[in-house]
């Protein structure tokens, strides 16, 4: 298992490019199951989760081909017919987003069998909302032997209200509704940019969708979808992670190929903490600052502060003067990084779903363990600011969602290397 070694204290400067959004690329790839024509996708990040989705689609019968052999970000997918309806345990256990094949497989092929994801490091994460919405569209849902088996001989449009905002749930049902007979009205939808990106792609494929990016989405079902060409939006969480790295260890860095409109909640929070940023077209410039101020934070569905940035921002708050309260409202167990940050010298206490961060506390390098994707990113950010050497174990968590983060940071002046084992 690879490790990352970071020698902290180097100031970062220069320009860094953001890759395509992992969480937009996964539904975009799954959408290939909705048509027998070819999807041409561009700006797909070369991260493990995208590779896992490619593997899963391959097992289901998809043909995938890179446009250029040396460019993993652009490829064509076509699914002339499915070979299997099943997302196996081995793949679902490494990537919960495998569940995104449920809606499109069912809608075009009448059946899907997906291993139930079960809990994960950040919480229980059930898929009950996906399943009850599919039932409303007319599917029968059976759960047996650890699999969910959904079948239908033709989905019908329905009125569906999600009890809780769910990102992949909204995406799954959006895909299914595109091929349902009649109109579907989805209420309390996720408004995340990744949902909008999927709706854009589906629209290019011939779907009739209104309201993506708002709480209510209306879908008029069509008989078939066509092929399309689509470039995945920039990864707002990777951009945010780089911006926080700049805030904690930067002279000045420029994060390019991002969409600043997707970063409003983060940039406003940084300003409250005392970090000023400048926004240009597709770029954010950020300067590291002294005299940071404590701030309270509450994770919320988009456009609120993203749970996927909570750990990284907490690292910055350890360097701010005063007490910050960080409330995690999306996932019940997303504080695994707290114990590791404390081992590096932070003073963070937990009170249920709220972390109490007292600062500023100098950080010192230590051996730490990555426990999930965003927790790994927060440890990298902490390592940049810490005195001495930080050795991060289980870097495969980071590789699921960040494309060569260590190379990007090294080009900005960080002393960071991957130890391959
Ligand atoms: N929930 C239910 N029932 C459901 C679905 C969700 O109770 O049927 C609950 C979840 O347990 C959670 C909340 O609703 O408490 C929100 O979960 P959501 O369904 O929105 O999460 P997700 O779709 O599984 C996506 C991202 C996550 C991101 C969350 C929240 C993808 C592939 N994953 O997950 O990304 O944290 O939305 O924004 O889009 C990451 O990239 O590190 C990551 C975990």
Kindly state if the Cβ of 328 falls inside 6 Å of ligand 1: no
Structure confidence at residue 253 (pLDDT): 97
Question: 312, 250, 194, 239: which is closest to 18 by C-alpha?
Answer: 239
Spatial separation of the C-alpha atoms in residues 338 and 316, rounded to whole Å: 13
Indicate the average pLDDT of the chain: 96
Ligand 1 atom closest to Cα of 374? Answer: 42
Band of the pLDDT at 119, cuts 50, 70, 90?
A: low
**352-379: average pLDDT:** 96
Kindly state if the Cβ of 310 falls inside 6 Å of ligand 1: no
Supply the residue whose CA is at minimum distance from atom 40 of ligand 1.
308
CA 152 remoteness from chain centre: 30
Residue with tokens 């410039």: 285
Spatial separation of the C-alpha atoms in residues 397 and 344, rounded to whole Å: 20
Percent of the chain whose pLDDT exceeds 90: 94
Catalytic, 120? Answer yes
Element (H, E) at 169: helix 167-178
**Is residue 421 predicted with pLDDT exceeding 90?**
no
* Two structure tokens written together for 158: 């329905």
Supply the residue whose CA is at minimum distance from atom 39 of ligand 1.
23
Kindly state if the Cβ of 139 falls inside 6 Å of ligand 1: no
Q: How many CB atoms lie within 10 A of CB 243?
A: 29
Question: 351, 344, 352: which is closest to 375 by C-alpha?
Answer: 344
Q: How many CB atoms lie within 10 A of CB 110?
A: 16
Element (H, E) at 23: helix 22-30
Task: Please give the backbone phi and psi of residue 219, each rounded to the nearest 5 degrees, phi first.
Answer: -125, 125
**Is residue 24 predicted with pLDDT exceeding 70?**
yes
Pocket test for ligand 1, best of 96, 166, 175 (most atoms within 8 A of CB): 166
Kindly state if the Cβ of 264 falls inside 6 Å of ligand 1: no
Three-state DSSP class for 159?
A: strand
Q: Where does 58-146 show beta strands of DSSP type E?
A: 63-68, 71-78, 86-87, 111-115, 140-144
DSSP codes of every residue in 210-230: E-BTBS-EEEE--S----EEE
* Two structure tokens written together for 112: 């899907």
Structure confidence at residue 123 (pLDDT): 72
Kindly state if the Cβ of 164 falls inside 6 Å of ligand 1: yes
pLDDT tens-digit readout, 180-190:
999 999 999 99
Structure confidence at residue 332 (pLDDT): 87
* Residue 18 Cα distances to 67, 229, 255, 270, 322, angstroms: 21, 21, 7, 19, 32
Determine contact, residues 181/220, Cβ cutoff 8 Å: no
Cis-peptide into 303, omega within 30 deg: yes
Pocket test for ligand 1, best of 49, 127, 164 (most atoms within 8 A of CB): 164
List 120, 178, 258, 378, catalytic entry: 120
pLDDT tens-digit readout, 38-93:
999 999 999 999 999 999 999 999 999 999 999 999 999 999 999 999 999 999 99
pLDDT tens-digit readout, 282-331:
999 999 988 999 999 999 999 999 999 999 999 999 999 999 999 999 99
**Is residue 135 predicted with pLDDT exceeding 80?**
yes
Q: Where does 36-162 show beta strands of DSSP type E?
A: 39-42, 63-68, 71-78, 86-87, 111-115, 140-144, 147-151, 159-161
Supply the residue whose CA is at minimum distance from atom 44 of ligand 1.
308
Kindly state if the Cβ of 309 falls inside 6 Å of ligand 1: no
pLDDT tens-digit readout, 47-58:
999 999 999 999
- How many whole angstroms from 393 Cα to the centroid of ligand 1? 25
Band of the pLDDT at 98, cuts 50, 70, 90?
A: very high
By the 10 Å C-beta count (0-12 exposed, 13-18 middle, 19+ buried), 366 is classed as: buried
pTM of the model: 0.98
- How many whole angstroms from 164 Cα to the centroid of ligand 1? 10
Band of the pLDDT at 118, cuts 50, 70, 90?
A: low
* Residue 37 Cα distances to 131, 201, 273, 419, angstroms: 27, 14, 49, 42
Identify the sign of the CA torsion 293, 377, 361, 414: negative
């Amino acid at each position: 298992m690879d490790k990352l070694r970071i020698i902290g204290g180097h100031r970062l400067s220069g320009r860094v490019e953001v890759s395509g959004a992992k969480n937009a690329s996964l539904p975009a790839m799954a959408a290939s199951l909705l048509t027998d024509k070819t999807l041409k996708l561009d700006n797909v990040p070369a991260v493990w989760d995208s590779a896992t989705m490619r593997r899963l689609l391959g097992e289901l019968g998809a043909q995938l081909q890179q446009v250029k052999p040396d460019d993993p970000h652009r490829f064509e997918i076509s699914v002339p017919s499915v070979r299997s309806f099943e997302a196996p345990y081995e793949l679902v256990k490494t990537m919960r987003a495998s569940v995104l094949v449920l809606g499109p497989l069912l809608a075009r092929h009448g059946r899907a069998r997906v291993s139930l994801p079960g809990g994960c490091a950040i919480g229980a994460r059930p898929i009950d909302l996906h399943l009850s919405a599919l039932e409303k569209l007319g599917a029968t849902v059976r759960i047996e032997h650890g699999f969910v088996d959904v079948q239908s001989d033709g989905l019908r449009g329905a009125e569906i209200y999600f009890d809780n905002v769910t990102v992949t749930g909204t995406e799954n049902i959006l895909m299914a509704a595109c091929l349902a007979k009649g109109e579907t009205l989805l209420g309390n939808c996720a408004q995340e940019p990744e949902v909008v990106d999927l709706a854009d792609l589906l629209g290019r494929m011939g779907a009739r969708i209104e309201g993506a990016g708002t709480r209510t989405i209306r879908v008029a079902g069509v008989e078939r979808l066509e092929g399309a060409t689509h470039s995945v939006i920039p990864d707002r969480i990777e951009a945010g992670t780089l911006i926080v790295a700049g805030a904690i260890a930067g002279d000045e860095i420029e994060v390019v190929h991002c969409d600043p409109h997707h970063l409003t909640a983060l940039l406003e929070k940084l300003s409250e903490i005392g970090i000023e940023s400048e926004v240009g077209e597709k770029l954010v410039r950020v300067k590291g600052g002294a005299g940071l101020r404590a701030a309270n934070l509450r994770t919320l569905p988009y456009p609120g502060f993203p749970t996927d940035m909570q750990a990284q921002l907490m690292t910055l708050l350890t360097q701010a003067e005063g007490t910050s309260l960080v409330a995690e409202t999306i996932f019940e167990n997303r504080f695994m990084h707290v114990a590791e940050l404390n081992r590096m010298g932070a003073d963070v206490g937990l009170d249920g779903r709220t972390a109490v961060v007292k600062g500023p506390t100098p950080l010192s390098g230590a051996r730490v363990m990555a426990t999930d994707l965003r927790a790994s990113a927060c440890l990298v950010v902490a390592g940049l600011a810490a005195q001495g050497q930080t050795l991060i174990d289980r870097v495969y968590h980071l590789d699921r969602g960040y494309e060569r983060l260590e190379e990007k940071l090294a080009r900005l002046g960080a002393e960071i290397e991957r130890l391959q084992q």
